[in-house]
Structures are given as C-alpha cells and as structure tokens.
Structure 1
Amino acid sequence: MAVYRKVYRFRMEPTQAQGDALLRMAGARRFVWNWGLKRRKEAYAATGKGLTYCQQAAELTALKKQPETAWLKDVDAQLLQQALRDLDRAYQAFFSKRARFPRFKSKKRDEPRFRIPQRVRVEESKVYIPKVGWVRIRQSQPIDWRIKGATFKQDAEGQWYVTLTAEFEVPDVPLPPANPERVVGIDLGLSHFAVLSDGSPPIDPPRFYRKGLAKLRRAQRALSRKQKGSKNHEKARKQLARVHARIRNQRQDWLHKLTTALVRQYDGLCIEDLNLKGMARTKLSRSVQDAALGEFRRQLEYKALWHRKHLAVIDRYFPSSKLCRECGSINPTLSLSERVWTCGCGAVHDRDLNAARNIRAEGIRTIPVAVGHTETLNAWGEGVRPAHSRQSSLNQESHAL
C-alpha cells in the first residue's frame, strides 16, 4: 500500500479569548526558536560543535522549570518540541546547501504561526487545540482520514487558518491503461494560458493581478500616506492585505477548478517542463508570475496521482513549437511573434495547437494504452516519432548493413 497525504485548509473563527491564546502559543513558538538558535550558536562558539535535537529537548525541559520561563508550561509541550524540530530541520537544510543559515524570528516581521503534530481533531465544524479548546471553523468539506498534523497561522489580515494534514493509503498497483483518445497534450503560454491538442477552445489567462493592479496601487498609496505606528496605518495595511488576498484566492480558485476538470475529463495529460525561473527573469516576469504556471503543474501532479490518471512531462528542450506534424522537419528560424507559420512541405500550423499535438505525441510514448490500441500510434494514426528521427534511424541501419 502506498501512503499519500491530503491537506485541508479551513478558516477559523476564534473568540477574543481564543485569539489571544493562539497569539500566546505563536509567541511561545517564536521564543523557543530564538532560544534554541542562540543556544546552538553559543555551544558552537564554546566547543566547536553544535547541539542535537535531543540535547535541546532536554534543555527545554529544564528551561520550563526556571521561574522566569515557567509560563512555557501553559503552552502545549508538543508545540515547543516541534519548534525545536523545525530548527533542527533548518540546520540540516543549511548544511545540505538547500537553504541559508537559520535566522532569529522578529515579532514584527514573522507571521504568528505554530504546529502541533498530534491530538488535534475536528468534529461538527470545530477544531480541538490543546490548551485552547474547541474553536469554530468554516469546514467546507469532510475529513475522511486520520489527521497527522496541524498548522495554525494568522495571515496579514488578522484571520486565523488551520491547515490539517491527513494520510490515506492507495493500493500499490500499476495505473490502469489509458485510452489514447482520452490523452491530451497541453501547451502552456501567456497569450493563451493553455491550448489542448484535441482542438478545444483555447483557455485564456484570467490575469487577476493585472485586473486588480489599480486597486493595489490605490491601497499602497493610501498606506504610504499614513504615519507608521498609528491606527490608521494599521487599517490601511489590512486593507492592502485584503486586496492581495482577494487576488490570490481568485487565482487559486480558478486553477483548482481548471485542473480538477482536466483530470476528470482525460485519462492522460502531457505537459512540457518549462524553465519558469528563467522566464521570471525576463521582461515578461509579471505576466509569468500572474499566470502561476508552476502552481498549475503542481496541482496537476498530485490530482493525477489521487485520481489515478497518467501525467507525462516532456523535456523542456523538445522542439514542440518548431516541429512540423506533417513531415517532421524543424523550423529553426521560428520566432516567438510568429503565431502561424508555414512549413516547407506546405503545411500551415497554428503555433500553439501544433505544439500541443507534438507534446501529446511525445508524451504518449511513456503512457501505457488500453488493449486494442497500439502504443506507438497516436489518435491520428501517425507514428509518434518525428519523421526526421525515423529517417535518421533508417540511414544508420543502412550504413551498418
């Protein structure tokens, strides 16, 4: 059995007393993180060796017995231990060169948050938090599996959210074969968000950031005119945060609906491995980040896994746009501004549709197909490999003979 995880995120509706308790727990987590980081630095400066998680956990037990830090007893013990585990994981990420050196957390800059690995449960639209009690949540869907951890976080607007991680098991068996007629190639871009190989109408990008840019600018100007530290400054900051949150929620809702519809409609999906970091450094960076192509791929990957559908990722250097579907030749002079081009064989190609069909033809080679269909044929009955590749293979065989 293969074990997978599913994450649920619900908005919380704490009372004033519960909200204060949540802030105290977030403050305790930040205090333990800073204390643990300071102790590690002191130990390394004195002995040349760092402290392990087990050593710091023992020191934490002694710390709670001291009079000046006895208030830590009022906080859930697993929350404090999880802060030390997160610090240890941050050190491991630094030594493996995956992240920078851990830093102290500021009360002003660090968003209030904490994690509890156990003893969190959900019943009747309420979540139970140790040392806090039952807190109302806006539960939009049931939780069908066992909860393995919970993260509580307050956003810039001041709203609390709980993120619950649940685990479920899926039989570890091969995916069912796909029907080639239900395999689609997806060409992602900026003028059209996605073009499908089956000839469906192109999916235009919603451009939520572009549409909300005027409101963002007004909110940012209003914030810049307020005196820092004043109540009006805090009101303007929350208003700006609400505009950002609305844009983010619109984008996420649109992406979730699109990816869910694609996974349910097709047995196999073929996409291209795009260099999104490189694209984000160009003059089109704002449009690239607004489209959220990386989030689209992330959602497709885990939803295809949950629904037991096939997902093929094509190499980023595959010439999907320049490859002619009729003769297999490559147009090396094709520029980005050419949306329709004519091959030397006379075939006229729509750039995006041609790329989507080439992506499908390349991706279907790695997808097992249902009985009665040949794996090396696509929906049009043509050979999957480009014609120039087949010709070069024949030439090599003839030379070998």
Structure 2
Amino acid sequence: MIIAIKIKLKPTKEQEVLFWKSAGTARWAYNYFLCESENHYSEYLKGNRKTKTISEGEVRKYINNILKKTTHKWLGEVGSNVMKQAVKDANLARQRWFDGISGKPKFKCRRKSKISFYVNYESLKRTKEGFQGEKLGIVKTYQPLPKLQAGQMYSNPRISFDGKNWFLSIGYEKQFEMLELTGVSLGIDVGIKELAVCSDGEFKKNINKTKRVKHLEKKLRKEQRKLSRKLEDNIKSYDINRKPIYEKPLKDMKNIQKQNQIIRNVHKKLTDIRTNYLHQCSNEIVKTKPSQIVMEHLNVRGMMKNKHLAKSIAAQKLSEFKKQIEYKCEKYGIKFVEADRWFASSKTCSCCGKIKSDLKLKDRVFSCECGFKMDRDLNASINLANYQIQRA
C-alpha cells in the first residue's frame, strides 16, 4: 500500500529563497498553460485552429525552446521538472473538468493559492541529514525520510509552505500486517453536536466546543477587527460608488501585512488542532478492530447551504474525517461501507424498524410507538451498523 507522509524541513536562507522561486515558477507555468489553452480554444471557434485543445507537450516545448532562452531566462534558476510538472497538473485539472469530475480550473493567485512545487523523484535521494533534490542541494529535515527497498523510489514528492514552515510530502510503498478483526459491524453517525457517535456507545466530542478552540476563535475575531480598523485608518475618501480610495497601495502598508500574518497564524493553529483531533479519533475507532465500518453518505455541499449551520459544519471537517476513516480501513484490511444517501438512519427505530417520518432536528431523543427510547445519534449509528444486514 502506498502511504503519504509530511516531513518538516529546516532549510537555509539560500534554500528558502530557492523554494520561493520554485513555487512562483510552478504557479506561473500552471497559469500559462490555462491561458494558452483558452486562447487556443478561442482561435478554434474563429476557425483558425483544427483542434479544440492544445497538448501540454506543445506548451512545454515552447517554454523550454523559446521562452527559457529569451525573455524568461529566470526559468533556468530552478529545477526543470518544476515547470514541467506544473504544466501537467494544469492539463490534468482541465481534463477532469472535461470529464465532469471537477469544476473549471481557476488561475492561481499569489496571495491565495497553495504555495508548493514538485521535486523530481528520480534525483531525490535520502541522506543522513535529510534529502538531496534537484538544484536544492542537501536539505535538512527534523526527521529522517523512510528507508526504501532496492529499486523503489519516492512517489510524487512536493515541497509546500503552510504559512510558517516548509514541508516535504512524499509517498512510498509499505506493507501492513492485517489485524485480527472482531467480526463486528461498527456504525458511525457524524454530526454537529458530537463529531461522531459509534454504535458501540462511544461518543467523540466536538473539538470546537473546547476552551482552547473557543479562545483561538475569539482571538481571531479580535485580530480581524484590528485589521478592519487599520484599513479604515488608511482610507482617504470614497468614490461615487462608495468604494474606498486608499492613500497608497495596500501592499506597501507594513502594518496591514503584519496584521494579515497574525491572522494567518491563528487560522493555521485552528486548522492544526482540528486535523490532529480527527486523526486521534479515527485511530481510536480503527483500533477497535471491527470487521466493517459503515458511514452515511454525506451531502456536505447541500448542508452548507443552511446559513445557520454552515460555519459549524465547516469547522467539523466531516469530509476529511470520512477520508481518514476510509484510508485507515484500507490500511488494516477493514471493510468500509458507505450507506445510501437516502437511507433513513435517524428516523428508523433500531428496535422494531418502523420509520418515524415526523422526526425533527430539535428532537435529540428518539421515541418510538413500541416504547423504545434512545439518544437520536446512537440510534442512527446502530441502524448504520445493521445496514448490510438489512440490505442482504
């Protein structure tokens, strides 16, 4: 099984400058291919082109043979595979759009897009201090790279920046011992009040209700108000459409840049806390060694349309939690089952099987005509645990 890991880096100042150049080159190459593909399609509509799309090979050849030798000589300062892979990523994003898998790819923004670039897997070598990459030299890491067997290579290595630290993400082949499973079917009902309720009676609390997260959210609101006041102080006047006119470009205002960095750091802390908690909960669930885990099919996009619950749903990171459960089940040989979206797990009585159609969201205790009473989420998790038995 191929697993992916992230390793924290400690680059020198010269290497960090090269990292930023490589990330900028990858972003430029991605945007350049999207722009060329749109121009090619517009020429096709005019009748000047025979094909609708342009191949990524043509774009790469033009960049290497023309631009790199004339107006874009700075492309030679970074590894050649940085540009090559960025063009391939843009082409893949476009193909996924054509196939209906994802939306139309957007141009990457310097301030909002993820800062990352590709490292050539063939030249990536493990060293005592860290690793050696193409034009990067020996980069030190806080933990050693995993050892590989003869003939193996790290797959899809990329270096990324999370706003504070640089990381190397790699994939490698690893064999796991199959667990001796208990033969139990475990149902998991996720929600907002509790992150997850398991059919064995285990409740995973909502991390967003803890003092630490609430303190950080309060601090985030406070720092955002500070930023708003700084922006207001720099407003000179308003135009006819009541849009603010600033005395000078915002990028030159050092106080605003510092405040934006503070806000990014608070966002990073919140994300790290929530992601780490999801890993802890998913590990605890998988280590109970059930034969299969059943989760409901979540329509997160539809749930986010509720303006009263959208913020709470986004903070729970339910899609990420399901992904973690799914790949950890595959790791240990546990069968993962996704129940049908329209399966009435919450409205069905786990005792007699009768469906209570008038159940409302505010009803936290499920009461049935047969006299059965149970916590609403626990009842739903038991129904999910019996999902395959009911469909057999």
TM-score tier after normalising by the smaller chain length: 0.7 to 0.9
Does 2:128 align with 1:136? Answer: no
Q: Which residue of 2 aligns with 1:156?
A: 163
Between the aligned partners of 1:13 and 1:331, the Cα distance in structure 2 is: 58
Q: Report matched runs for 1:109-128 at 5 Å.
A: 109-118=112-121, 119-128=123-132
Provide the secondary structure at the position in 1 that maps to 2:311.
helix
- Displacement, 1:256? 0.4
**Cα–Cα, structure 1 residues 179 and 232, in superposed 2: closer, same or farther, change >3 Å?**
same
**1:231 matched residue in structure 2:** 254
- Within the alignment, does 1:348 sit opposite 2:373 as a pair? yes
Q: 1:343 to 1:9 in 2, by over 3 A?
A: same
Label 1:336 to 1:178 Cα distance change in 2 as closer, same or farther (>3 A). Answer: same
2:185 to 183, 186, 189: 183
Deviation at 1:303, TM superposition (A): 0.4
Shift of 1:94: 2.9
SS at match of 2:363: coil
Contact 1:192-1:204 within 8 A present in 2 as well = yes
SS in 2 for 1:86: helix
What's the offset of the Cα at 1:211? 4.6
Q: Secondary structure at the match of 2:192?
A: coil
Displacement of 1:350: 2.5
Partner of residue 370, structure 1: none
Matched, 1:276 2:280: no
Structure 2 distance, partners of 1:332, 1:115, is 52
CA distance in 2 between counterparts of 1:32 and 1:270 reads 42
Encode CA deviations 1:12-50: one digit per residue, 9 max, x unaligned: 221111111111222222333344344444444242533
Identify the residue that residue 323 of structure 1 maps to in structure 2.
Answer: 348
5+ residue gaps, structure 2? 235-249
1:128 aligned counterpart, secondary structure: strand
**Is the partner of 1:271 in helix, strand or coil?**
strand
Q: How much does 1:280 deviate?
A: 1.4
Partner AA of 2:136 in structure 1: V
Larger Rg: 1
**Contact 2:294/2:384 (8 A) holds in 1:** yes
Q: 1:329 to 1:310 in 2, by over 3 A?
A: same
Task: Kindly report the root-mean-square deviation, in angstroms, between the aligned alpha carbons of the 2 structures.
Answer: 2.7
Amino acid of the structure 1 residue aligned with 2:219: K
Whole-angstrom distance in 1 between the partners of 2:13 and 2:86: 25
1:21-60 map, 5 Å: 21-44=18-41, 45=43, 46-47=48-49, 49=51, 50-60=53-63
Q: In the alignment, which of 80, 83, 87 is matched to residue 80 of structure 1?
A: 83
Q: Taking structure 1 as reference, are residues 316 and 168 closer, same or farther at Cα in structure 2, changes over 3 Å only?
A: same
Match of 2:98 among 90, 95, 98: 95
Q: Provide the identity percentage.
A: 27
Mean Cα displacement is larger for which, 145-154 or 214-223?
A: 145-154
Counterpart of 1:148, as a letter, is: S
**Offset at residue 263 of structure 1 (A):** 0.7
Moved more, 273-282 or 322-331: 322-331
2:223–2:262 contact (8 Å) kept in structure 1: yes
2:194·2:206 contact (CA, 8 Å) conserved in 1?
A: yes
Cα shift readout 1:303-357 (whole Å, capped 9, x = no counterpart): 0001111222221222222222332222222222222243222222322222211
Q: SS where residue 15 of structure 2 aligns?
A: helix
Find the aligned partners of 1:272 and 1:329 in 2 and give their Cα distance: 19
Distance 1:192 1:30, change over 3 A: closer
Q: Output the TM-score relative to the length of structure 1.
A: 0.80
Please name the residue that 1:376 is paired with.
none
Alignment correspondent of 2:199: 197
Partner SS state of residue 347, structure 2: coil
- In the aligned structure 2, how far is the partner of 1:111 from the partner of 1:177? 41
Match runs of 1:64-79 below 5 Å: 66-79=69-82
Q: Distance in 2 between matches of 1:351 and 1:104?
A: 45
- Structure 1 partner of 2:273: 250
Change (3 A) 1:125 1:271: farther
Q: Sort the Cα spacing of 1:223 and 1:51 in 2 relative to 1 into closer, same or farther, 3 A.
A: same
Alignment of 1:290-309 (within 5 A): 290-309=315-334
Aligned residue for 1:61? 64
**C-alpha contact 1:5 1:168 (8 A) present in aligned 2:** yes
Q: Quick one: structure 1 residues 232 and 121, their matched pair in 2 at CA, closer, same or farther if it must change by over 3 Å? A: farther
Confirm whether residue 9 of structure 1 aligns to residue 6 of structure 2: yes
Contact 1:186/1:270 (8 A) holds in 2: yes
Contact 2:130 2:144 in 1 (8 A): no
Letter in 2 for 1:223: L
Question: For 1:90 and 1:104, how far apart are their aligned partners in 2?
Answer: 11
Q: 1:166 is aligned with what amino acid?
A: Y
SS at the partner of 2:350? coil
Question: Are residues 1:334 and 2:338 paired?
Answer: no
Which sections of structure 1, spanning at least 5 residues, go unmatched? Answer: 366-383, 387-401
Matching residue's letter, 2:255:
N
Aligned amino acid, residue 272 of structure 1: E
Could you list the per-position Cα deviations for residues 241-297 of structure 1 after superposition, in whole angstroms to 9, with x for gaps in the alignment?
Answer: 110000000011111011011111122222221222221111211111111111111
CA distance 1:86–1:279, change in 2 (3 Å): same
Q: Give the superposition deviation at 1:106.
A: 4.0
1:302 Cα deviation from its structure 2 partner: 0.2
- Quickly say closer, same or farther: Cα 1:103–1:197, change in 2 above 3 A: closer
| Contact 1:183-1:266 within 8 A present in 2 as well | no
Alpha carbons of 1:73 and 1:205: their partners in 2 closer, same or farther (altered >3 Å)? Answer: same
Structure 1, residues 43-75: CA drift from partner, whole Å, max 9, x if none? Answer: 442425332122223223312562333332232
- Whether contact under 8 Å (2:157, 2:170) holds in the other structure is yes
Aligned to 2:314: 289
Aligned to 1:310: 335
